[in-house]
Amino acid sequence: MPKQKTHKGMKKRFKITASGKATHRSANRGHKLSSKSASRKRQLRTEGIISGTMAKKIAAAIAPGQ
């Protein structure tokens, strides 16, 4: 059976922390930022955290076999 390939799209979008959680960049930060309030943009600067089953699935897709 061939090796499972790394999902390159997920590798670009997610990062796995040392504790096994996955982090991602918040959406709505690409353009049209002048219409958004400073507090909203400040909140969007923080990274989102994914834990549990979804983090395991993301980790398996990013680094299969590890």
What pLDDT, in 10s, does the model give residues 18-34? Answer: 999 999 999 999 999 99
Residues 29-49, buried b or exposed e (16+ Cβ, 10 A)?
eeeeeeeeeeeeeeebeeeee
The domains of the chain, with CATH numbers, are: 8-62 (4.10.410)
- pLDDT of res. 1: 82
Predicted confidence (pLDDT) per residue in 48-62, tens digit: 999 999 999 999 999
